[in-house]
C-alpha cells in the first residue's frame, strides 16, 4: 500500500477527524502510563488525546504527509511526531516505551506482516509495558484491502507468546459504521 499517495490524494477514510471515541474514558482509568508510542498515527488525533492525559507521546507514521498533517495541529503537551518505519525502529528505542496505543496500524498491514508488527511492539516496550489496541474483529472480508480483521482466536495466537491479556472491552463507544466490528484489548508485555 502506498500510504504517502493515499495522504497526498486525500484518500484517508480512516481519518475521522478526532480520536477514537472510547479512548478518553479508558485513558481516564490510567490504563496507559509514561512514555507512549502510537504507530501509524496518521494526522495524530489519538496522539493529541494521549498528550491531554499527560502522557509523553510519540506519534509515528511511514507517510511524510501524515506527519506533516499531524504537525499542523496546535500542540497539546509536548507530543512529538516522527516519520519512521515501525518495522525498522531505531536501536535506541529498544525497551524504551512504557505503553503503545494501537489504532488502525495493525489492521492496515498485510496479515503476513503481523509477526513483524508484534516483534516491533515487543522490542519497543519495556517488560510489563502496556499495549492498548483497537482491533477490527467480527467484520466482513474486504476483498484483500485494509482494514484486515482478525478473530479473537487469531489475536490470542499472535500476541499470546509475548503479551498477557489484562482486559477486553466490547461494545465501547466507536465511530458510526464501526459498531460491532471492534474489540479493544489491554495487554501487558511479558
Which domains can be identified in the chain, with CATH numbers? 34-189 (3.40.50.150)
pLDDT of residue 142: 63
Q: Kindly report the pTM of this predicted structure.
A: 0.96
Q: Which of 9, 84, 76, 12 is nearest to 43 (CA)?
A: 12
* Spatial contact of 130 and 161, defined as CB atoms under 8 Å apart: no
pLDDT of residue 138: 72
pLDDT of residue 130: 98
Please give the average pLDDT of every successive group of 10 residues along the chain, which has 190 residues: 95 96 97 98 98 97 98 96 97 98 95 97 98 88 79 96 97 94 97
pLDDT of residue 141: 62
pLDDT of residue 104: 92
pLDDT of residue 15: 96
pLDDT of residue 117: 98
pLDDT of residue 22: 98
- All three cell numbers of 74: 496546535
Quote the CA–CA distance of 56 and 51 in Å, as a whole number: 6
* Spatial contact of 117 and 109, defined as CB atoms under 8 Å apart: yes
Radius of gyration of the CA atoms of the chain, in A: 15
pLDDT of residue 53: 97
Quote the CA–CA distance of 114 and 184 in Å, as a whole number: 17
Amino acid at each position: 500500500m502506498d500510504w504517502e499517495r493515499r495522504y497526498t490524494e486525500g484518500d484517508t477514510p480512516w481519518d475521522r477527524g478526532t480520536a477514537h471515541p472510547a479512548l478518553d474514558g479508558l485513558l481516564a482509568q490510567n490504563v496507559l502510563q509514561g512514555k507512549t508510542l502510537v504507530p501509524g498515527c496518521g494526522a495524530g488525533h489519538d496522539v493529541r488525546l494521549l498528550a491531554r492525559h499527560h502522557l509523553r507521546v510519540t506519534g509515528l507514521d511511514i507517510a511524510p504527509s501524515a506527519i506533516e498533517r499531524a504537525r499542523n495541529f496546535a500542540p497539546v503537551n509536548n507530543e512529538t511526531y516522527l516519520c519512521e518505519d515501525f518495522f525498522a525502529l531505531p536501536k535506541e528505542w529498544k525497551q524504551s516505551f512504557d505503553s503503545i496505543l494501537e489504532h488502525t496500524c495493525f489492521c492496515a498491514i498485510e496479515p503476513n506482516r503481523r509477526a513483524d508488527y508484534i516483534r516491533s511492539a515487543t522490542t519497543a516496550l519495556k517488560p510489563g509495558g502496556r499495549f492498548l489496541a483497537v482491533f477490527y474483529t467480527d467484520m466482513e472480508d474486504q476483498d484483500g484491502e485494509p482494514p484486515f480483521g482478525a478473530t479473537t482466536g487469531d489475536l490470542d495466537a499472535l500476541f499470546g507468546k509475548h503479551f498477557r491479556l489484562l482486559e477486553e472491552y466490547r461494545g465501547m463507544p466507536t465511530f458510526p459504521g464501526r459498531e460491532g466490528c471492534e474489540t479493544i484489548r489491554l495487554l501487558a508485555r511479558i
